[in-house]
Amino acid sequence: MPVAEASVRKRTAGIVGAGSIGSAFAIVFAAAGHRVVVQDPAAASLENARTRVSTSLQELKQFDLLDEPAEDVAGRIAYVADLSQAVHEADFIQECAPERLELKQPLFTEIERHAKPDAIIASSASAIPASRSMGHLDTRHRCLVCHPGNPPYLIPVIEIVPAPFTDPNVAEQAQRFFAAAGMSPIMVRKEIEGFVFNRLQGALLREAYCLFRDGVASIEEIDSIVRDGLGMRWSFMGPFETVDLNTQGGLASHAQKMGPAYARMGKERGQDDPWTSDLVERATAERRSSLAIEDWQKRTEWRDRQLMALLRHRRRLAVNQNNSTTAQAAK
Ligand SMILES: NC(=O)c1ccc[n+]([C@@H]2O[C@H](COP(=O)([O-])OP(=O)(O)OC[C@H]3O[C@@H](n4cnc5c(N)ncnc54)[C@H](O)[C@@H]3O)[C@@H](O)[C@H]2O)c1
C-alpha cells in the first residue's frame, strides 16, 4: 500500500513515549503546524512532558525561535495514556520509548496494530537499527529509524536510517517531513548500529575514557579541551573541513603529515584502520569538489571570522552569566 504524503499538508503526528525525546519532538512537530498526540503509560511522565513543553516553548519565544505565540503551539498538543489514541489517526508516528530491544519490539507490534495502514512508523533509537526492532512487522516497508540529537528542537540534524526492507519512497517522505519542520535530515546510506552521529560521538568518548582511565587528564580537563579547542571549530564545520583548512595543501597534505601518527594511536587502542592512499584520494576528491584548492585561503579567512563571531558571543554569554550571578547575590 502506498504511504501517505506526510510532508506537504499539516498532518497528525503520534509520539509514543513522553520522556526527553518524545516531549522535544512534540515541540518540533507542533511548531511545524501539525496536530500532535503524545502517549506515555506513566502518568508522571505525561505531566512532566506537559510542563517541560510549556516551559521550553516560552523560552523559545523569548529567544525569537518561535513564529507564533507559545500558547498557540502548545494548543496543538494532546497528552494521552492510551497507545491506540495516539496512533490511530496519525500520519507520522515517532516512537520515543526506552532504548531496549525487548521493549521496542512488542511496542512496534502494538503500534502497527493500531496505526493507519499508510502511516509512517519511525523509531528514535540511538543505536538499534530498524532491522532489529521492526523487522518482524508485516508492514515493515513503512518503518525506519529517524534518530535525532537531544533535544531535536535545538539540534537540527536528524539521521534518516532506512532498513533494507524500507520503501525508499517512505525514507524520502520522512526526509521531506523533517525538512519541512525546519530540521536538517541526513539520509544514512547503510544501516549500521549507532548510525553516524553516535559512532562519531562514541569514537571520541572511547578515547576520552581511556585518557581519563590512564590518568592523562581529568574529566574537566578533557571537557575543556573539547569546549575551548576542538568544539570551537566543530560548532560551524565538521572534522574533514577542519583538518582540510588546518594544513596548507588541504586534506591530502594533512593525511600525509598526520596519517602515520593517527594510525599508531589507533593501533595502540586495538584499531588497525590506517588511512590508505586510495581512501585519502577518494576523500580528497570529494572535498576538492566542494572547495577548490584555489579557494582554500579565502575559506580559512572565513573560518577565522566565524571564530571571531563565536568568541564575541561567548564573551557576551560570560558577561551575562556574571551579571545574573551578581544580581542573584544582591537579592
Ligand atoms: N536522550 C538522548 O540524548 C537521546 C537522543 C537521541 C535518541 N534517543 C533515543 O530516544 C528514545 C527515548 O529516549 P529518552 O531519552 O527520551 O528516554 P526517557 O527515559 O527520557 O523517556 C522514555 C519514556 O518512554 C516511556 N515508556 C516506557 N515504556 C513505554 C511504552 N511501552 N510505551 C510508551 N512509552 C513508554 C517512559 O515512561 C518514559 O517517559 C531512546 O530510544 C533513546 O535511545 C535519546
The pLDDT confidence band at residue 326, using thresholds 50, 70 and 90, is low
Q: In the predicted model, what is the mean pLDDT of the chain?
A: 95
Which residue's CA lies nearest to atom 18 of ligand 1? 19
- pLDDT at position 292 is 97
Other CB atoms closer than 10 Å to residue 55's CB: what's the count?
Answer: 11
CA of 320 to the centre of ligand 1 (A): 34
Pocket test for ligand 1, best of 15, 16, 21, 100 (most atoms within 8 A of CB): 21
- pLDDT at position 316 is 93
The pLDDT confidence band at residue 37, using thresholds 50, 70 and 90, is very high
Domain ranges, ordered by start, for the chain = 12-187, 197-305
- Ligand 1 contacts (CB < 6 A) are 16-22, 40-42, 45, 96-99, 103, 107, 124-126, 147-148, 150
> Is the C-alpha dihedral spanning 287, 291, 294, 300 positive or negative?
negative
How far is CA 179 from each of CA 26, 92, 205, 322, rounded to the nearest angstrom? 16, 14, 29, 38
> Does 5 have pLDDT greater than 50?
no
Tell me the mean pLDDT in the region 172-195.
97
Ligand 1 atom closest to Cα of 107? 31
- pLDDT at position 323 is 73
The CA distance from 6 to 90, in Å, is 10
- Beta partners for residue 34, in sequence order: none
How far is CA 218 from each of CA 98, 213, 215, 241, 265, rounded to the nearest angstrom? 31, 9, 7, 28, 20
CATH code, 12-187: 3.40.50.720
The pLDDT confidence band at residue 318, using thresholds 50, 70 and 90, is confident
CA of 151 to the centre of ligand 1 (A): 12
Q: What is the pLDDT of residues 186-241, one digit of tens each?
A: 999 999 999 999 999 999 999 999 999 999 999 999 999 999 999 999 999 999 99
The pLDDT confidence band at residue 275, using thresholds 50, 70 and 90, is very high
The CA distance from 168 to 148, in Å, is 20
CA of 65 to the centre of ligand 1 (A): 25
Of 230, 275, 224, 235, nearest in space to 253 by CA: 275
Ligand 1 atom closest to Cα of 127? 43
DSSP 229: I
Tell me the mean pLDDT in the region 242-271.
97
The CA distance from 32 to 46, in Å, is 21
